[in-house]
Chains A and B, each alone.
Chain A
């Protein structure tokens, strides 16, 4: 009799331990299967980029190459297409857009949040409307305008539709609104100009929002194809996605070794940046996404 309660306890705890174990297996099973789906293209890209053509085109499919052919594939890709130039174009494009976006959006957001000026509400309504208008909508008039000005095939043409980020204005306004008025008033009494207040007091406090927006902006424009495809036909100016498209067209889609080598080179900068600054990226998406 006296032995029975502990026995029941052990049985039920063994039972619940088994259940726990089973549910853990199930959870990790689903997660690992999903992770394989997410990683498969990356793995296949890396593996193919070091395979010789004979193995790529053989009927039997093996994960690991028998013969290492990476040097040849990467060298071929680099010789046939200015891949580093594409990456550099991507850097110039993203940096140019981001700098102007911040220079324009921060003062405007401050004015909307903290200053009383005529037309403020109208401007804010326009900003909200602008949030709903993707670049594909003004694309054709902008294209015609740039063509008339002889500005097609320039970095400027690639950047200009994105100089104004209504999203940045919206995001920073939310952030600036919670900045204490007392500090601003104290700075005014100290004789600081509004210009100094914006750039030396309010902007540093909004650093998390600015970092979040920078991540959002860089990821969007590094990967954007639609607008560069329209205004750029000169391969020397192509950002990574357009460069990849040119390369895939020019090199006929069959040299998979070189194609995947090129894909690796053009995907690497942003993926590496993400792996290094993982928290920034994820916080950035959370902040810009949830608003």
Chain B
């Protein structure tokens, strides 16, 4: 009621006061985040740019600017080329497996009423498990002579396979473990997407004579899941590109470099050999790929993959 008694002058000045308070509190509320943003992201990025142009080695005293030599070295380095190729092969195996496997499971689970939550729990379990601990178990599962997987193969009459110590199978085996870990996560995202599809669309399709499961999938489910699928594909790509844990624990890049991946090489160069300048350049190559994937995501979300 006091407001009604205020003169226009007072109203203007109280409005100004409000704006001023808003500016100050806004800045104050954003300040801690801004400070951390500078200290833990922006300043490190700036330092990284400088480091990538030098031959600095952590612990050493010399620091010479070498221009783009680190980048030239990285692009010509056969080890880095191989590790980049390995990373991309890993992505190429894990993305289709992790996305379409999850889509299949989600579609099958979605219509279940009594068993749905049981299956959800089972498929989601690996997401919450500590991958490093489970990697030890996988190692044992796949053991050439003691593991049950090879036991099963022998029982079926096949020759045993040394999954992790054979250069031709090691990377694919890690990718299967990657799929095992991410499947439940993607399944949950697909289930959310499926729930958002209105039921009457399927009823309408029934009336239009589109009754087969595959028909319904192609005309309704797949197009309407477009945005979800796009999102899942890109997040899976980014996750797969960051493969590090299983390599560090299970294979350490071996056998004969067949599982050396980009992040593992960056870790070795930066934190084991302390070739800091060189590792900084490698980090930018890593970042470039991540940014391309993220840009694809923004682009896809903008375009709203709708039909």
Residues of A participating in the B interface, judged by any CB pair closer than 8 Å: 23, 27-28, 30-31, 34-35, 37-42, 44-45, 48, 56-57, 59, 61, 103-105, 107-108, 110-112, 115-120, 123, 126-127, 130-134, 136-145, 147, 160-161, 163-164, 166, 169, 188, 194-195, 198, 219, 222-223, 225-226, 229-230, 240-242, 244-245, 248, 253, 256, 259-260, 262-263, 266-267, 270-271, 273-275, 278, 281-282, 285-286, 289-290
Contacts and interface: CB of A to CB of B under 8 A. Distances in A.
B27 A118 contact: yes
A263 B134 contact: yes
A112 B242 contact: no
Contacts of B24: 117
B126 A222 contact: no
Nearest to A218: B128
Given A27-B108, A137-B283, A194-B21, A130 B41 contact: yes
B287 A266 contact: no
Contact of B25 (A40, A111, A163): A111
Contacts of A107: 28-30, 32-33
Given A130-B37, A144-B58, A278 B121 contact: yes
Contacts of A270: 128-130
Contacts of A241: 130-133, 245
Contacts of A244: 130, 132-133, 136
Contacts of B32: 103-104, 107-108
Q: Identify whether the interface residues of B are mostly helix, strand, loop, or mixed.
A: helix
Contacts of B100: none
Contact of A44 (B36, B125, B128, B141): B141
Give 4 closest A-B pairs by Cβ, nearest first: A117-B26, A138-B44, A115-B26, A164-B36
B217 interface: no
B148 A44 contact: yes
Contacts of B131: 223, 225, 241
